[in-house]
Structure 1
Amino acid sequence: MRSRLMSRRRFFGLGGTSAAAVVLGTGVLGGESAAARTLRKSNPFTLGVASGDPLPHGFVLWTRLAPEPFAADGGGGMPSHSVRVEYEVARDERFQSVVRRGAAVASPELGHSVHPEVHGLEPDREYFYRFRAGGEISPVGRTRTTPAAASMPRELNFAFTSCAAWHDGYFTAYDHMAEEDLDLIVHLGDYIYELEINAANNQRAEAAPPQLGTEAFDLARYRLQYSFYKAEEPLRKAHARFPWIHTLDDHEVVNDWAADKVLRGRHPNPDPVEFAKRRTAAFQAFYENLPLRSAQLPSGTRIRLHRRLPYGRLADITMIDTRQYRDPQPCNHGNGTGKTTGCEERFDTDRSILGAAQRDWLVEEFSRSRAHWQILGNQAPMAQTDEDPGPGQLLSLDPWDGYVADRDRVLAAADERGVRNLVVITGDRHTNYALDLKADYDEPDSRTVATEFVGTSVTSGRDGADIDAAGQAYLAANPHLKFYNFQRGYVRVNVNSERWRSDFRVMPYVTKPGAPISTRASYVVEDQRPGAKPA
């Protein structure tokens, strides 16, 4: 994956047939920008390279130029003009068989990031890519296309993860993830935390630069937060190794936000105009720093993240967005606690966590899908998660427990439209769960209609434990909860036509570097038999 020196002539010459119209955000280079200026500073690739949203015939590539990644203005030490960035894609790591070459415009308006979308490649094949800017050549990235739409792949191997708070520990999980034999990685949100990093909350041995000592509110500060996270070598390594599929949750903006409101936390009931500015800045920084397609280019306070990516006829990966379109959490979000022992409002059929338009889209995707496995990339737990082992209930209102009607509608729609196997993969909780999704949680013996695997965090929650007091209460209160673990790590998944297997990969600590990885438990789902069972 190291950068290789070579002459400008050998890298490539860009001919007239490669030019296309400039599309701001995708970074496609048009003839008018063909003589974009060069950089005066070396090593603009401090934030690494990445690929994402793979399809049978292509993927999106990403890099962001930042010779001074921790510049306080968030600009990465870049000039105020656009810069030409060349890229090439090859069948081999030595780039002796180049199949695509192109160029892109890294503009200051989008933080000098580029997102070229590569098409016309062979399905189910490994490729290598790299960039050049200002005479410097980037590290080499490895990626792959997905299988042809009509094919039945033998298997799919991927990992899913979420919740990487820099101040809570080291990104060792990404190091281990990069060494797995995977086809792709799914990140389910909280890629960054908007919070300040200072002596009061930092669990690491090294201090963060002083410019990280304030919370992110504006574009410059969000850009700086991404730069600081992406400067971590384990994260860059995992991005360079596999294509990623992304969505966001709350901490890419602010804790527990819901559409245009924040009902609890540090900033409840923010000024609507100011909060709109904050969301606009957060969405732009999210796009600038991740391998997202032009379809995900934000427009003000809106960014479309719900989409479906097929993996042949074996699986459809359907990403949903449970933040942008939801109604505010019910019952004043547990009167400020985030939890409630009784809240009739959570059953209101007019309230939604998806929004009507996204929910209708999801139901239509259920009808269209003929895949063996429908994988739903989801932010917060869909299953009921009661914290009271007694006769009462203590529920968090931010996940789907605050939006019961939407949960019922989605699960019923999957059943009615003949989804063969629905498996929900989820982040947010900093905990590992294996759960059965039930038709009726008031009737423990009711039918299991789908399966959910909740994956733990990269670092959030610090070192954790195998099982804590909360875990004992969860297991006692939720008979549909088959497994609980409170360590850090990720979930590794192997899927074939006969069964799904989730391996809960965990580490003993994250507050110091170098933790080993092991499989704490493995659970399977058999084809057309919903529900998690020990492997």
Structure 2
Amino acid sequence: MDRRQFLKFGSFITVSAASGMGLTACGGSDSAPASGLPPASGAWKFPQSVASGDPRPDSILLWTRAVQASADAVAVATGSDASIRLIVTSVDNSAALGSNKELSGATVADVSLPLQVQYDNTIRHKLTGLTAGTTYYYQFIAGDNRSNVGRFKTAPAVDADVSQLQFVYMTCQDWSVNHWGAMSSIAAENLDFIVHLGDYIYETVGDDFQLGAVESRHDTLVLPDGLYKSGNAGAKYANSLADYRYLYKKYRTDTRLQALHERFAFIAIWDDHEFSDDAWQDAQTYDNSFNADGSDLHQPSRRRNANQAWFEFMPADVSLDAANTTFQNIKIYRDFQFGKLMQLVMTDERLYRADHIIPESAINPATGKPLGRIGSRYLVPQDLFNSVEAQKMAGAETIGLDPLTTATMLGNTQRQWWMDKMKAATSTWKVWGNEVSLLRMGLNGVDAIATLLALNAVTTLATSVGTTAAAAGGNFAVAGAIVAAVTAGASAAVAQAGAVAIATAAATGGAADAQAAAGVKAGLSTAQATIAVGTFAKVAAAASAGQTGAALAAVAGQTIAFGYIKPDVQAKKADSVFVAASGKKDALSAFFTKFLFNCDQWDGYNSERKALMSHLKTNNVGNVVAITGDIHSFFAGTVNDDFDAANGGTPVMVDLVSAGISSDSFFSYLRDAASTLGDISTLVSYPLAVPVPGLGTVNLSFNLLDYTMGKAVPTAASLAEQTRVQLRGALAVKGVPEAQLDATVGAVLTGLQANSDFNTSLLGLAQQLASLGNNPWLKHLNTDAQGYTLVTLTPGKMTAQFRQVNKLVGTTAPGTIVARTTTATVTAGSPSVAIS
């Protein structure tokens, strides 16, 4: 390493040992002591407050930023270098949290620290020599002013018997949309620490997904040097060091985020938005941002700027190598031991990952232009993915590389580190701080299209049954059998004869096989007779139960649609007569395959995921649970050794995914993307106008994505309950006072269940999508949510409470923050998860 660079960052990363008063911090082993700088004098302030991170049994990393009182809170620091003080005590000062009241009690450290303009007046100080499992309080002093009081708790001793740990993990806190009320709720929890899984900042300002409602206390961000994403107007993205520093400074001015850092030590990792959306290494993947040859745009200088800003502003005990001229000048993957109870392994899934298996720059043969995100990262045909991944791995092996080199999320070095850590771990629980989900999230397009075409046919079939019944003396069962046989290809005359024969056989006590035989004898084929008998029976049973008229016609229509049309499309795909009859064969043909929803997460690095799971399985590494962010949803499920094997393979570990603090949901993104796909959009959302007395109607987009992905078959009550949070937010927009919101929502949901569009069309659709059986390893999913996850860990079980929060009320965070809690429980010794 270049000595000058070492000295430069050595003077920034200071270290001291706690042992009493009057200690002076020194930098790296060759750096000058902080006492060489004059003490800060006069009026100062701490606009981003204080923070602590990476608690170990004997150390902590402490952070602050101090500027003169007259300075702008987020402007670049100016002036001369100076020194400030850090005071630490183990005496209880909890009453002073949230204030700049002077710390009381004997100190374990009183340290002079260098405040340097070149690092934007940020301070990173590592304090060692601490006592394990102990709560400490700390405060910085600059000139005449004190910072707010901070608190942290050191990790228990490595060999300690720990009965319980409690922590929150959180992710995706976009300043520019929704609200940060969840942070207030977290601040009230009793925690040992917080894990932040990335997207601490968002690098873009004014992007499409950031144009929704936002709380008034979050004003518009203005990047100092930002570049336009496209052309010379619209959204901008952070590019310079000043841009990235600005975002951290601005985000950290929110007193709710400050309160979290003041109260709890963070263990943080980054994801993509700390640099660039869906990034890999130093490459950005914004649509239409490619080199002239079509390759992804690499931005090593921008990546280095992002790295340095994260390093300066996050309280993480890592080092940045300024002498390293590449963009991989920082290593942030690391692990933590919490007694005998937990080993926490934090990975970096951006800096070393290979390009997406199907690059965004790949040419779409239909348009002659780069694919962009759809087809490369999202809704990727699985067969194509498997083929390209195999080719890339074979190519790597051909030139003597590890086959995973070109298909890796972690990179070869980090992957081996992860394997070694997992194999060597002696703690009861191995928890993986994992940025992107390990769960397979697939869609069988054949089944989906078959379901949609069947649903689209229900109304037409029901109308035909009603007309036929009028001509058949009001006998809906016979009418249903006739329409069923015609739908299956029989002529009208043969269908009528077959239906009469079926009804006659039924009247004389004949069972279903006898009825079918009578229908065949009358001229129906076996398939025609089968659907006719089934329809006759369903309608007759409904009639016996008291249903009449249109209700009987609807039963017949649904029976025919899902008993014949859906299976026909599933069997014949694009060659089904019902596909041709839809008039949309060309538009639908591309969807008759299996898809992977999101190849930016581990589904896009499938072979490496299998290698990791094989390592755990082979070495009998149990009680492994990933805590995950990124996808703006709550998920819980098992990670299997091979999702492509029969029955989805064997569970090896569990993945618990938390929704974002404020970022718009995965459902909302897919809803907007699918809106241009016609009938396919029904797989994601269903628009419904809900009448509200005194307010007119509220337009909702019912979340069907959950059912398409594998949520359990709903009842009318559970389907209505699913939209409670969205409805509450919509009523708030209509001006309903918060004090009246919950009662109004309850009344509207009760009335909604009596709405025929809801309890017939929407409910039937949701039930059919749920019955597709996609992703059976998913035990819980809520793709339309914001919130966080509270974990309680004991030797016997891990309990994760998914805390979904309510939406904005006007332009402020809701008074009632937590809307619902869903609990996922993992019992020691079993790679499974139970939901309650």
How big is the shift at 1:294? 4.1
Aligned-pair CA distance for 1:224 = 1.0
Give the number of aligned pairs: 516
- 2:256 paired residue number: 234
Which moves more between the two structures, 178-187 or 107-116?
Answer: 107-116
Q: 1:447 aligns with which of 650, 666, 670?
A: 650
**Distance of 2:120 and 2:21 partners within structure 1:** 24
Native 8 Å contact 1:60 1:117 kept in 2: yes
Report the CA distance shift for 1:326/1:32 in structure 2 as closer, same or farther (over 3 A). Answer: closer
Q: Judge conservation of contact 2:43–2:69 (CA < 8 Å) in 1.
A: no
CA distance in 2, matches of 1:487, 1:153: 33
Instruction: Answer with 361-370 or 30-39: which moved more.
Output: 30-39
Residue 61 (structure 1) aligns with: 62
Q: Distance in 1 between matches of 2:708 and 2:110?
A: 56
Report the Cα distance in structure 2 between the residues aligned to 1:325 and 1:111, rounded to whole angstroms: 28
Shift of 1:183: 0.6
Tell me the CA shift for residue 123 of structure 1. 0.8
- Are 1:408 and 2:610 an aligned pair? yes
Counterpart Cα distance in 2 of 1:255 and 1:526: 35
Provide the residue aligned with 1:7 in structure 2. Answer: none
Decide which moves more: 471-480 or 391-400. 391-400
State how far apart, in whole Å, the 2-side matches of 1:493 and 1:32 are. Answer: 40
Q: CA deviation at 1:264?
A: 4.0
Unaligned runs of at least 5 residues, structure 2? 1-19, 94-102, 227-235, 363-370, 394-402, 448-592, 669-700, 711-772
CA distance in 2 between partners of 1:388 and 1:69 (Å):
61
Q: For 1:413, what is the secondary structure of its paired residue?
A: helix
Relative to structure 1, the CA distance from residue 309 to residue 249 in structure 2 (aligned partners, 3 Å threshold; closer, same or farther) is same
Q: Does 1:479 align with 2:503?
A: no
Q: How many angstroms apart in 1 are the aligned matches of 2:82 and 2:154?
A: 28
Counterpart among 613, 618, 627 of residue 425 in structure 1 = 627
Instruction: Please state if 1:251 is matched with 2:273.
Output: yes
Q: How does 1:144-183 map to 2 (within 5 A)?
A: 144-183=153-192
Q: SS of the counterpart of 2:817?
A: coil
The answer as to 2:313 corresponding to 1:289 is: yes
Correspondence for 1:85: 84
Residue-by-residue CA offset, 1:502-522 (whole Å, 9 max, x unaligned): 100011214631342144310
Give the corresponding residue for 1:521. 822
What TM-score, normalized to structure 2?
A: 0.58
Q: Give the structure 1 partner of residue 244 of structure 2.
A: 222
Q: Contact (CA 8 Å) 1:296, 1:305: kept in 2 or not?
A: no
**1:298-338 CA distance string (max 9 Å, x none):** 65522211101111110011000110101100112483112
Q: Match of 2:345, SS?
A: strand
More helix by share: 2
| Alpha carbons of structure 1 residues 268 and 374: separation in structure 2 relative to 1, 3 Å | farther
Could you tell me which residue of structure 1 aligns to residue 662 of structure 2?
459
Aligned residues: CA RMSD: 2.9
The TM-score with structure 1 as length reference comes to 0.89
* 1:436-476 superposed Cα distances (whole Å, 9 cap, x missing partner): 11122122253210000010000000697998222121114
* Cα displacement (A) at 1:74: 4.1
Match of 2:415 among 353, 359, 362: 359
Quick one: distance in 2 between partners of 1:493 and 1:188? 14
Q: Contact 1:503 / 1:519 at 8 angstroms: preserved in 2?
A: no
Tell me by how many angstroms 1:201 deviates: 1.9
Alpha-carbon contact 1:19-1:30 (below 8 Å) kept: no
* C-alpha distance in structure 2 between counterparts of 1:257 and 1:63, whole Å: 29
- One-letter identity of the residue aligned with 2:344: I
Question: Secondary structure of the residue that 1:332 maps to in structure 2?
Answer: coil
Distance 2:628 2:67 in 1: 32
Answer yes or no: is 1:438 the counterpart of 2:449: no
Larger Cα-atom Rg:
2
Specify the SS of the correspondent of 2:44. Answer: coil
Q: How does 1:280-429 map to 2 (within 5 A)?
A: 280-295=304-319, 301=327, 302-333=329-360, 335-336=371-372, 337=374, 338-339=377-378, 340-341=380-381, 342-343=384-385, 344-347=387-390, 348=393, 349-350=403-404, 351-388=407-444, 390=446, 392-395=593-596, 396-429=598-631
Q: CA deviation at 1:87?
A: 0.5
Identity %: 26
Instruction: Name the residue aligned to 1:501.
Output: 799
Deviation digits for residues 156-179 of structure 1 (CA, Å, limit 9, x no counterpart): 111111101111122111111110
Matched, 1:492 2:790: yes
Matched-pair contact (CA < 8 Å) for 1:427–1:456: yes
Cα displacement (A) at 1:266: 6.0
Q: 1:119 to 1:469 in 2, by over 3 A?
A: same
Inter-partner Cα distance in structure 2 for 1:146 and 1:72 = 33
Report the more deviating stretch, 445-454 or 503-512.
503-512
Contact 1:390–1:477, Cα closer than 8 Å, also in 2: no
Residues 1:205 and 1:35: Cα distance change in structure 2 (over 3 Å) = closer
Give the Cα–Cα distance (whole angstroms) in 2 for the partners of residues 91 and 297 of structure 1: 33
Partner of 1:38: 40
Please state if 1:204 is matched with 2:206: no
Note if contact 1:492-1:505 (Cα within 8 Å) is conserved in structure 2: yes
Stretches of structure 1 that go unaligned for 5 or more consecutive residues are 1-12
Query: 1:533 and 2:834 equivalent?
Result: yes
The answer (yes or no) to whether the contact 1:195–1:215 under 8 Å persists in 2 is: yes
In structure 1, C-alpha distance between the alignment counterparts of 2:801 and 2:105, rounded to whole Å? 37
Deviations 1:2-42 (A, max 9, x none): xxxxxxxxxxx974xx3354349xxx984364333525553
Q: Following TM superposition, by how much is the alpha carbon of 1:411 offset from its aligned partner in structure 2, in angstroms?
A: 1.3
Once structures 1 and 2 are overlaid, which stretch shifts more, 214-223 or 185-194? 214-223
CA contact (8 A) 1:157 1:494 kept: yes
- Cα 1:329/1:198, change in 2 over 3 Å: closer
**Correspondence for 1:126 among 135, 144, 153:** 135
- Higher mean C-alpha displacement, 207-216 vs 266-275: 266-275
Q: For the structure 1 residues 217 and 145, does the alpha-carbon distance in structure 2 shift closer, same or farther, using more than 3 Å as the test?
A: same
Q: Which moved more, 1:378-387 or 1:184-193?
A: 378-387
More strand by share: 1
Q: 1:256·1:265 contact (CA, 8 Å) conserved in 2? A: no
After superposition, the Cα gap between the structure-2 partners of 1:399 and 1:209, relative to the gap in structure 1 and judged at 3 Å, is: closer
The one-letter amino acid of 1:237's match is A
Q: 1:210 to 1:49 in 2, by over 3 A?
A: closer
For structure 1, which segment, 518-527 or 297-306, has the greater mean C-alpha deviation from structure 2 after superposition?
Answer: 297-306
Structure 1 pair 195–313 and aligned structure 2 pair: CA distance change class (3 A): same
Alpha-carbon distance between aligned partners in 1 of 2:599 and 2:132, rounded to the nearest angstrom: 42
Aligned CA distance change for structure 1 residues 266 and 411 (closer, same or farther; 3 Å): same
Separation in structure 2 between the aligned mates of residue 462 and residue 445 of structure 1, nearest angstrom:
27
**Comparing 132-141 and 423-432, the one that deviates more:** 132-141
Aligned residue in 1 for 2:812 = 512
Which residue number corresponds to residue 185 of structure 1?
194
1:389 to partner: Cα distance? 6.4
Residue deviations 1:123-168 (CA, integer Å, cap 9, x gap): 1111111101122110001110011100120011111111011111
- Matches of 1:134 and 1:61, distance apart in 2: 19
Matched residues in 1 for 2:621 and 2:665: separation?
38
Contact kept, 8 Å, 2:285 with 2:297, in 1: the verdict is no
Question: Aligned equivalents of 1:316 and 1:467: distance in 2?
Answer: 40
Contact 1:169 1:462 (C-alpha < 8 Å) held by counterparts:
no
1:192: how far off? Answer: 0.3
Q: Which moved more, 1:309-318 or 1:63-72?
A: 63-72
- 3-state SS of the aligned residue for 2:319? helix
**Residue 282 to residue 97, structure 1, CA distance change in 2 (3 Å):** same
